């Protein structure tokens, strides 16, 4: 984990958002992306489990509902490694701002919630680049579930049904996501995650995030117009 503990030396900036589903992090990332583009900042975005190399394999495996916690972890690690080398690093080297909707902390939270050894998971991602700033959107699993169910039903793995906490997917979801939230909260001090109140208004959250991002931009001598 030595490399992950040190600030990267690239001219670009890596900004990450974390939190359980329904926390509003993706909406805030989209707003931040548009704002930076309007400020003439070179910016790209990347999402968890989106590598062309492995994401289709992961989706097929999920459909069979047979993934173990460690297999899940390994597949996501391969996906992350591919995106790191092909997307994140090149963009940072070119001086871009990289917005990552989920980063290694997602693995640290979800995999450990599936009883995978925390030290093993952290060591596996030891090659990762340390973000310049990471926002953690803090929301309760019950609120998360309500927001998700307004549009869809929680998926098998999202609800932690593979852990057999309950035959009821909604009860299982709350139990499993509670475990994930506990892991996230333990990482706030461990990795310096910045907590964002997911219950605040969209406007309030975006203003808070922009203030922190402007500080990072100025610190890295990246000019922001307006």
pTM above 0.85, yes or no: yes
DSSP H or E segment with residue 213: helix 202-219
209 lies in some domain: yes
Of the pLDDT bands very low, low, confident and very high (cuts 50, 70, 90), residue 52 is low
Q: Which 3 state secondary structure label does DSSP give 120?
A: helix
Given this model, what pLDDT does residue 68 score? Answer: 65
33 lies in some domain: yes
112 lies in some domain: yes
- The Cα 138–Cα 202 span in angstroms is 14
Q: Quote the percentage of the chain above a pLDDT of 70.
A: 89
Of the pLDDT bands very low, low, confident and very high (cuts 50, 70, 90), residue 4 is confident
Given this model, what pLDDT does residue 75 score? Answer: 84
156 lies in some domain: no
Lowest-confidence range among 56-70, 185-199, 205-219? 56-70
Judging by beta carbons within 10 Å of its beta carbon (0-12, 13-18, 19+), is residue 190 exposed, middle or buried? exposed
What is the rounded average pLDDT of the residues 39-68?
A: 72
115 lies in some domain: yes
Domain residue limits at 116: 3-138+192-218
Lowest-confidence range among 101-105, 131-135, 175-179, 219-223? 219-223
Continuous H helices in 19-68? 25-38, 55-63
164 lies in some domain: no
178 lies in some domain: no
A 10 A CB-CB count for 117 gives: 13
Judging by beta carbons within 10 Å of its beta carbon (0-12, 13-18, 19+), is residue 2 exposed, middle or buried? exposed
What is the rounded average pLDDT of the residues 172-190?
A: 96
54 lies in some domain: yes
Q: Residue 209 belongs to a domain with what CATH number?
A: 3.40.50.300
Domain count, the chain: 1
Tokens of 59: 């989706």
**pLDDT higher than threshold 60 for residue 2:** no
Q: Please, what is the angle between helix 104-113 and helix 69-83, to 10°?
A: 180
Residue of 64 and 220 predicted with greater confidence: 220
Q: Which residue has 């062309």 as its token pair?
A: 52
Given this model, what pLDDT does residue 101 score? Answer: 96
Of the pLDDT bands very low, low, confident and very high (cuts 50, 70, 90), residue 57 is low
Q: Cα dist. 55→10, 65, 76, 162 in Å?
A: 27, 16, 8, 20
* Phi, psi at 172, each rounded to 5°: -60, -40
């Amino acid at each position: 984990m030595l490399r992950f503990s040190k600030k990267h030396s690239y001219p670009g900036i890596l900004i990450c958002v974390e939190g359980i589903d329904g926390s509003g992090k993706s909406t805030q990332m989209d707003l931040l992306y548009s704002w930076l583009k309007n400020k003439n900042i070179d910016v790209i975005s990347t999402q968890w489990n989106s590598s062309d190399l492995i994401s289709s394999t992961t989706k097929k495996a999920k459909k069979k509902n047979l993934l173990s916690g460690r297999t899940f972890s390994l597949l996501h690690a391969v996906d992350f490694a591919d995106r790191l080398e092909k997307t994140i690093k090149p963009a940072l080297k070119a001086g871009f701002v990289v917005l990552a909707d989920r980063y290694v902390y997602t693995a640290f939270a979800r995999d450990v919630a599936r009883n995978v050894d925390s030290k093993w998971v952290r060591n596996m991602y030891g090659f990762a680049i340390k973000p310049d700033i990471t926002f953690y959107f803090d929301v309760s699993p019950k609120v998360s579930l309500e927001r998700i169910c307004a549009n869809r039903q929680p998926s098998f793995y999202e609800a932690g049904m593979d852990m057999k906490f309950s035959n009821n997917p909604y009860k299982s979801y709350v139990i499993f996501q509670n475990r994930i939230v506990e892991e996230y909260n333990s990482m706030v001090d461990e990795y310096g995650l910045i907590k964002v109140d997911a219950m605040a208004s969209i406007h309030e959250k975006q203003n808070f995030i922009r203030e922190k991002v402007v500080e990072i931009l100025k610190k890295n001598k990246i000019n922001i117009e307006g």
